[in-house]
Chains A and B, each alone.
Chain A
Amino acid sequence: MIEIIEIITRIIAMIFAVIGIFFFIVGTVGILRLPDFYCRTHAATKCDTLGACSILLGLAIYEKFSFDALKILVLFALVLITSPTMGHAIARAAFRRGLRPWRKVAPPPLIEETEKEAKAE
């Protein structure tokens, strides 16, 4: 009976770790590929918070009831509170310093339209 509970907690911890790795990879792709600072803040902060929180929660479940699990839950609460606060602080500072948000440039006209304009001229 005790072995079954052990195996179930290990499987739950592994599932949480896999979810965390997925969100960390999504955040890394977002911070490398998105066009603007505000888009990068959006992707990076949200995915980073969720990834770190799920890995820490999985480890706390794996450790069950002990003093180490309490420390990891304190770390969980710390990341959950401070990470969005940091993202908001940086974004507000950048906006007040005058960094303009990215606007999508109007797409170039199609080839057929340019040919029609050339014929009309």
Chain B
Amino acid sequence: MSTFYLYVGIILIANAFLCLYRAFRGPTVPDRILAVNIVGTKTLVILVLIAYIFRQAMYLDVALVYGLLNFIITTAAARYLETGKIRGDWERD
């Protein structure tokens, strides 16, 4: 059973490196943000698989924090792309 999940993790890592190609040569900036977001989601799943393969429940907490950080990073990048601001109230300007 653990060997099966090892193969699942290897396939996911190969997919993540294929997505990094789009982050390397995306024609526009949102393409790069989207590719990094996808790689982050795959890394989250790979962390949960690592927690199963090595029987370490600690990696589940790491995966939770990683998912929240991924969400915050992408939302902040999208907001900066849209308004040119990160902090402050931008709707009144």
Q: Which A residues are within 8 Å of any B CB, using their own CB? A: 10, 14, 17, 20-21, 24-25, 27-28, 31-32, 37, 40-41, 44-45, 48, 51-52, 55-56, 59, 67-68, 71-72, 74-75, 78-79, 82-83, 85-87, 89-94, 96-97, 99
Question: How many pairs of residues, A versus B, come closer than 8 Å at their CB atoms?
Answer: 125
Q: Are B52 and A52 in contact (CB under 8 A)?
A: no
Across-interface contacts of A75 in B (CB, < 8 A): 44, 48, 60, 63-64, 67
List 5 extra interface pairs beyond A25-B11, A32-B21, A68-B57, CB under 8 A: A31-B38, A32-B19, A75-B60, A75-B67, A93-B30
Option from B8, B34, B37 in Cβ contact (under 8 Å) with A37: B34
Q: How far is the CA of A64 from the CA of B70 in the complex (A)?
A: 28
Contacts of A37 in B (CB 8 A): 28, 30-31, 34
7 shortest interchain CB distances as A-B pairs: A93-B82, A89-B78, A94-B30, A93-B78, A82-B71, A93-B81, A86-B74
- In the complex, which residues of chain A have a beta carbon less than 8 angstroms from the beta carbon of B22? 31-32, 40
Separation of A83 and B67 alpha carbons in the complex (Å): 10
Out of B68, B74, B82, name the residue touching A96 (CB < 8 Å). B82
Binary CB contact string for chain B from 34 to 74 against chain A (1 if under 8 A, 0 otherwise): 11011001101100110110000100110110011011001
Taking CB as reference atom, which chain A residue is nearest B72? A82
Known: A21-B8, A82-B71, A89-B78. A99 touches B21 (CB 8 A): no
- With a 10 A CB-CB cut-off, give which of B34, B35, B49, B75 has the most chain A CB atoms: B34
Report the bound CA distance from A56 to B41 in whole Å.
12
A90 touching B28 in the complex, CB below 8 Å, given contacts A78-B67, A97-B82: no
Instruction: Identify B4's interface contact among A17, A40, A51, CB under 8 A.
Output: A17
